[in-house]
Amino acid sequence: MQERSEEEEMVTPGEILGKGTDLIPGKGAYLSRDNHNTVYASLTGRRSLIPPPPDSPDQRPIVEVIGHKAHGPVPEPGCVVIARVTKVMARMASADIMCVGSKSVREKFSGIIRQQDVRATEIDKVDMHTSFRPGDIVKASVISLGDARAYHLSTAQNELGVVSAESMAGGTMVPISWTEMQCPLTGQIEQRKVAKVGA
């Protein structure tokens, strides 16, 4: 059980937080490169100390700086993002990343979902048009930074996939199974790679 103690005073970038022998730098702090071995802050915010877990060999507390202003998050490999599909092509779909975790981004980032990353089974038999349509909101995870143009996203897990979609008639569809969604206005069933939401 880790309790972090947050201090009242603000620190600014370049301020000394402690010695490298007493503290491990966490997020918002760094260890200096010279031989003085001091931990400096790299953000403006409040200092917070996390005591080490009792069974780890290194008993130094971790010092972090919690930024005062939550600036827009940036997608990182391993995080779950919410994206809106913009284009669906034969072997990939491109999507605009709108939220990282639970925070919305200030300006959108581009991502692509390749055919082999749509689901975990039978990945070569995936038809992109029965998995996504333009305008769908999907929950995906970032596999890698990708290339200069887009992040690589994957929906190959049960909880990932289409979260909300509109039918051709214009109504918000209700998920029936992990491959189908139904429109409440017309009763039409459309195919999507649906995310498993809830317990």
Contact residues toward another protein (CB under 8 A) are 9-10, 12-16, 28, 30, 32, 40, 42-45, 67-72, 74, 106-110, 145, 147-149
Q: How far is the CB of 50 from another protein (least distance, A)?
A: 19
Closest by CA to 127, choosing from 168, 175, 91, is 91
Q: How far is the CB of 79 from another protein (least distance, A)?
A: 14
Q: How far is the CB of 74 from another protein (least distance, A)?
A: 5
Nearer to another protein by C-beta: 60 or 108?
108
Nearer to another protein by C-beta: 15 or 180?
15
Closest by CA to 45, choosing from 25, 72, 64, is 64
Q: How far is the CB of 56 from another protein (least distance, A)?
A: 25
**What is the CA angle 174-128-126, rounded to 5?**
100
Phi, psi of 74 (to 5 degrees): -120, 135
Q: How far is CA 178 from CA 8, 106, 131, 192, in A?
A: 49, 32, 10, 8
Q: Residue 108 has what DSSP assignment?
A: E
Q: How far is the CB of 183 from another protein (least distance, A)?
A: 34
Nearer to another protein by C-beta: 65 or 183?
65
Nearer to another protein by C-beta: 8 or 122?
8
Q: How far is the CB of 194 from another protein (least distance, A)?
A: 29
Nearer to another protein by C-beta: 69 or 125?
69
Q: Are 114 and 92 in contact (CB under 8 A)?
A: yes
Q: Residue 114 carries which side chain, given as an amino acid letter? A: R
Nearer to another protein by C-beta: 68 or 91?
68
**What is the CA angle 44-106-112, rounded to 5?**
120
Q: Are 61 and 19 in contact (CB under 8 A)?
A: no
Q: Are 140 and 150 in contact (CB under 8 A)?
A: no
